[in-house]
Amino acid sequence: MTESVLNQHSLDEINEWLGRYPPEQKQSAVLAALRVAQHQNDGYLTTELMDACAEVLDMPKIAVYEVASFYSMYETKPCGRHNIAICTNISCMLMGSDTIVNHVEKKYGIKLGESTADGKIFLKVEEECLAACAGGPMMQVDHVYHTDLTPEKVDEILDALD
Amino acid sequence: MSDDDINLTVDGQPLTAKRGQMLIEVTDAAGIDIPRFCYHKKLSVAANCRMCLVEVEKAPKPLPACATPVMPDMVVKTRSKLALEAQQGTMEFLLINHPLDCPICDQGGECELQDVAMGYGGSASQYTEGKRVVMDKYIGPLIATEMTRCIHCTRCVRFGEEIAGVRELGATGRGENVRIGTYIEKSVASEVSGNVIDICPVGALTARPSRYSARSWELQQAPAVAPHDSLGSNIFVHLDNGKVNRVVPRENEAINEVWISDRDRFSYQGLHSADRLTTPRIRQNGELVDCDWDTALQAAVDALRSGAGKGSLGVLASAHSTLEELYMAQKLARALGTDDIDHRLAQTDFSADASSPAMPWLGMSINDLESLDAALVVGSNIRKELPIAALRLRKSALNGGRISFVNPLDFPMHFDASVALSPRYDRLADELCRIAVAAEADLGKLRGLPSLEPDDRHRQIAAELRDAERASLMLGSLAVNHPAFATLAALAEAIATKVNATLSYLPSLGNSAGAWLAGVVPHRRAGGSALGSAGRHAGDMLNQSLNTYLLHGVELEFDAANAAGAMQAVAGAEQVICVSAFDSESIRQYATVVLPAAAFTESYGTYVNATGHWQSNRGLVEPPGQARPAWKIYRVLADLLELQDIAYTSPEQITREVQSQCANIELNNLTSGSAQTDYQSIDYGDALLRVGEIPIHRVDPLVRRSVPLQKSNDGKQAFASMRHSELQRHNINDGDQIVVVQNGSRVTLPVKLDDAVPENCVWIPGGLTETAALGPLCAAVEIQRS
Ligand code: SF4
Ligand code: FES
Ligand code: FES
């Protein structure tokens, strides 16, 4: 066996997930495994990482590619390590998400879908409703929801990132 | 009418159907056309294209006929206003992103999208926005992709998952961005991959070798039988102005259903090889030179006479030849007084000949392969040897059949094996013996039985075979060509008898069964009757030089069990007559007379498949240059030799003659009598063992010359493969070049890591230019870093 590109920490975590499903249903853990793999790699998946997940989960590689390319929470191209997703769906839009988007784009000099040159910030393209409509406009920064945004509040949150 | 039958009305026509059937199956059977894209009768129902919408009374909206089960007294309208509007709407949606590039599309003229658009679509689109474009990835030399044309029916994806058993194509992305493909750039590896070309309803997947070479409506279609494996898959040959342009499957539920292997589909490319022999040739002053037929025939006659006169004429005919050719070669040999004739070039142990069946065969129908409760496959890479039979076996496995293997390599299969044993090749018999012991088989016929203890795996195999209602024990070519074949056969028979399983042979070449029937063996006449004293078998004929050889369709450097030794033997002969469709380096070395023969599709000929089913091909195209059908060549030779009873005027006459000789043949793989077999313990001890097979695309001269097949994934075989621990032991890495020394011959090969290879083994296939110098497929070798 050649060594997996998944590190031990990731493998342990995936195995922990695998424990929750029947042994013949390993593929149930694919979403979790991809999330772990993406986390290990600073926010995006490579073909090698997806192949390694396929191996661990006993799935055809293409089936893993299908999942990874379907869900918007996985990035399959290199991107900045902080993932910023500003909801632009109807409730947030009515509450002024355009202002937030404009502000952030100007702040970093990049458009939605792009990353900053220093590899720190990635602005996710056109995020849909994240089910926090009551607190719109809202955004998700890495794993954390931030609601009732104003440009000032956004600055505060983003400037605190390392 | 049983409880299961129900009545319904479609377009005013009363129909009966079985409960649980989908509407589209019923209308298809009744000849009522419903347009469809995603539905395919051999695949699961996806119901994603919505093209098959029809009106069902009492249903509030149109329903997809492919996913609507029939109901009692259902009233269906396939051409009502509602249905037509639904179909038209779907069609318009499907064409939104389709490039409508029919004039430059290979599928044009045989495109389901084109046909359905003509029949059910509108004449103009309301859509004026930009269309989606998909960049193509190279997926190998066999299939050309133009994924912008794809309509996402997912037939190709379902084919991979459900039929071929390898998921290589998938639907990645989402919504507008969904695309069908491999996601990464990679050659597809399935041995039946070409079938996606046929099932793709549009021009997204087309045959790469024949791309842009003809329009489908200009091609003529002729039925034929594929000659490369012992299934005899039914095909259509498509001809373009007297030239074979492509090959597609011909449906036959009893044999290949609607599929064919890539080998059967793309081998025809070899027909147009520069290696085709177009003139007779003879050797003059050491050089092969072109000559006329009279000169060559006379030289052949002289050679045959002198060889036979000296009692030293050997005939070797390859089992990919037609029954008529094989029979004529045999008749000629026997009329000249020799029984030194054989087709089993790859075999090494002939000691079971005296008790061998008249025709080793499958022992059951091909359909039976898909309803086995248990099977033990011994010595066969069945997936690559008999790709379509393997698809049937896979169905057994998916239905819960317990399929186990005893193979010299843990061949990757497209289903889960129950138990897969992969001993070192020399110990194959020991492993089978353990299973026999576990099954408590009667091993009384084996002398010198070692005492071997079964473990749980052997016991599991034995128990599964015993408990199965329908079980089979299959011997493949790696068993038949094993140095201890007689032992393997005796063990297999003992087990099969004990557990009440069918003993099956999996003949590898296209007409292996036909060669047995035609008497191309040293110990049996045509029709299978045994000879009082047997002639020399292939092994003996190639062990030392005979005076004269007649080689029919043979390429010794690839076909012979010991390629290096065989080349030497033939080089030492006085006269070597080669009847062949193809020139080769080795023919140029050893032939003294070359008689150019017609190849597949160029002459009439019969193939007998593994179930004993006879199928004949017509001659469809002219042989090139002065090449002639081989049966005619033998006929003329017989005339010149003034032999009796051999003046046929048509090849069908020959077929009928063999048929009458085979009239009373009884197909039975079990041996009769109480003859004892010595238990042969082949054991190379601590030596590093070279083991190999003849790879899928190297089995006969025609496939060897199909460039696309050679370039495909399965065509790349020149490696020395070893498991990880073996690489470590020899301190080498994946990708290194190493020198393999076998019996004094040295060959340099790249190393490949493959953990399916057993310990202390190096897997090096035969049948390859790169490995021909090495010799036997089972031998001690040394490896050195180069
Ligand atoms: S490539 Fe052909 S078969 Fe595959 S999904 Fe597209 S249209 Fe269907
Ligand atoms: S619309 Fe933004 S969270 Fe629902
Ligand atoms: S054929 Fe019925 S939905 Fe595609």
CB atoms < 10 A from the CB of B243, how many? 15
DSSP B131: P
Q: How confident is the model at residue B230 (pLDDT cuts 50, 70, 90)?
A: very high
| CB contact (8 A) between residue B172 and residue A69 | yes
Query: Per-10-residue mean pLDDT for chain A, 162 residues long?
Result: 82 96 95 96 95 96 96 92 94 95 96 93 88 93 94 95 88
A69 to chain B: which residues are within 8 Å by CB? 172-174, 183
What are the CB-based long-range contacts (under 8 Å, 24+) for B655-659?
A: B655/B323, B655/B324, B655/B606, B655/B614, B655/B616, B657/B327, B658/B323, B658/B324, B658/B327, B658/B517, B658/B518, B658/B526, B658/B527, B658/B606, B659/B614
**Which amino acid does the sequence have at B715?**
G
Count residue pairs from A and B with Cβ separation < 8 A.
35
Pocket-forming residues, ligand 3, beta carbon under 6 Å:
B 36-39, 47, 49-52, 64, 66
Please check the confidence at residue B458 and state whether its pLDDT lies above 80. Answer: yes
Please check the confidence at residue B713 and state whether its pLDDT lies above 70. Answer: yes
**Which amino acid does the sequence have at B611?**
T
Contact B409, B642 (CB under 8 A): no
Strands (E), B597-723: 605-608, 614-617, 677-678, 688-691, 720-722
Higher pLDDT: B192 or B123? It is B192
Higher pLDDT: A2 or B349? It is B349
Does residue B185 sit at the A interface (CB-CB below 8 Å)?
no
Strands B287-290 and B281-284, bridge-based pairing: antiparallel
Contact B362, B475 (CB under 8 A): no
Instruction: Single out the residue of B368, B431, B379, B385 nearest to residue B407, CA to CA.
Output: B379
Atom of ligand 3 nearest to the CA of B50: 3
Mutate to test the interface with A, among B139, B158, B180, B184 (most CBs of A within 10 A): B184
Q: DSSP string covering B233-291, please?
A: -EEEEEEETTEEEEEEE--BTTTTBT---HHHHHGGGGGG-TTB--S-EEEETTEEEE-
Q: Is B494 helix (H, G, I), strand (E, B) or coil?
A: helix
CA distance between the termini of chain A: 37
Nearest-angstrom CA–CA distance, B555 and B702 = 11
Nearest ligand atom owner, CA of B87: 3
Nearest ligand atom owner, CA of B54: 3
- What tens digit of pLDDT does each residue of B741-752 get? 998 999 999 999
Mean pLDDT of chain B: 95
Ligand 3 midpoint to CA B63 (Å): 10
What ipTM does this complex have? 0.87
pLDDT score of A1 = 44
Strands (E), B643-742: 677-678, 688-691, 720-722, 737-742
| CB contact (8 A) between residue A62 and residue B755 | no
Sorted by where each starts, the structural domains of chain A and their CATH numbers stand as 2-70 (1.10.10), 82-159 (3.40.30.10)
Structure tokens at B371: 């309803």
Nearest ligand atom owner, CA of B157: 1
> Measured between alpha carbons, how far is residue A4 from residues A7, A23, A56, B241 in Å?
7, 21, 9, 55
**Which amino acid does the sequence have at A85?**
A
Angle at B396 between CA B393 and CA B397, to 5 degrees: 90
Nearest-angstrom CA–CA distance, B452 and B473 = 20
Q: What burial class does residue B14 get, using C-beta atoms within 10 Å of its C-beta: 0-12 exposed, 13-18 middle, 19+ buried?
A: exposed
Please check the confidence at residue B760 and state whether its pLDDT lies above 90. Answer: yes
**Average pLDDT of B218-233?**
97
**Average pLDDT of B192-198?**
97
Percent of chain B with pLDDT over 90: 93
- What tens digit of pLDDT does each residue of B300-320 get? 999 999 999 999 999 999 999
Range of lowest pLDDT (A2-11, B313-322, B389-398, B445-454): A2-11
The partner residue sitting opposite B170, judged by closest CB among A1, A2, A62, is A62
Nearest-angstrom CA–CA distance, B762 and B771 = 13
Please check the confidence at residue B1 and state whether its pLDDT lies above 60. Answer: no
B170 to chain A: which residues are within 8 Å by CB? 60, 62-63, 65-66
Contact B440, B510 (CB under 8 A): no
Separation of CA B258 from chain center: 15
Higher pLDDT: B673 or A23? It is A23
- What tens digit of pLDDT does each residue of B83-108 get? 999 999 999 999 999 999 999 999 99
CA distance B181 to chain A (A): 9
DSSP B169: -
pLDDT score of B514 = 97
Q: Could you tell which of A72, A86, A91 is best to mutate to test the pocket of ligand 2, judged by most ligand atoms within 8 Å of the CB?
A: A91
Tokens 């843990």 correspond to: B410
Q: How confident is the model at residue B520 (pLDDT cuts 50, 70, 90)?
A: very high
Please check the confidence at residue B123 and state whether its pLDDT lies above 90. Answer: no
The partner residue sitting opposite A65, judged by closest CB among B166, B170, B753, is B170
- What tens digit of pLDDT does each residue of B523-557 get? 999 999 999 999 999 999 999 999 999 999 999 99
CA distance A161 to chain B (A): 31
Contact B590, B288 (CB under 8 A): no
With b meaning 16 or more CB within 10 Å and e meaning fewer, what string describes B565-595? bbbbbbeebebbbbbbbbbbebbeebbbbbb
Ligand 1 midpoint to CA B196 (Å): 8
Pocket-forming residues, ligand 2, beta carbon under 6 Å:
A 87, 89-92, 129-133, 136, 138
| CB contact (8 A) between residue B172 and residue A65 | yes
Chain A contacts in chain B segment 681-740 (CB below 8 A)? 724
Q: Could you tell which of B139, B154, B206 is best to mutate to test the pocket of ligand 1, judged by most ligand atoms within 8 Å of the CB?
A: B154
**For B778, how many CA atoms within 13 A lie in the half-sphere containing its CB?**
24
Please check the confidence at residue B290 and state whether its pLDDT lies above 90. Answer: yes
Nearest-angstrom CA–CA distance, B737 and B750 = 4
The partner residue sitting opposite A47, judged by closest CB among B171, B184, B724, is B184
The partner residue sitting opposite B167, judged by closest CB among A1, A63, A69, is A63
Report the residue count for chain A.
162
Q: How confident is the model at residue B588 (pLDDT cuts 50, 70, 90)?
A: very high
Nearest-angstrom CA–CA distance, B576 and B310 = 15
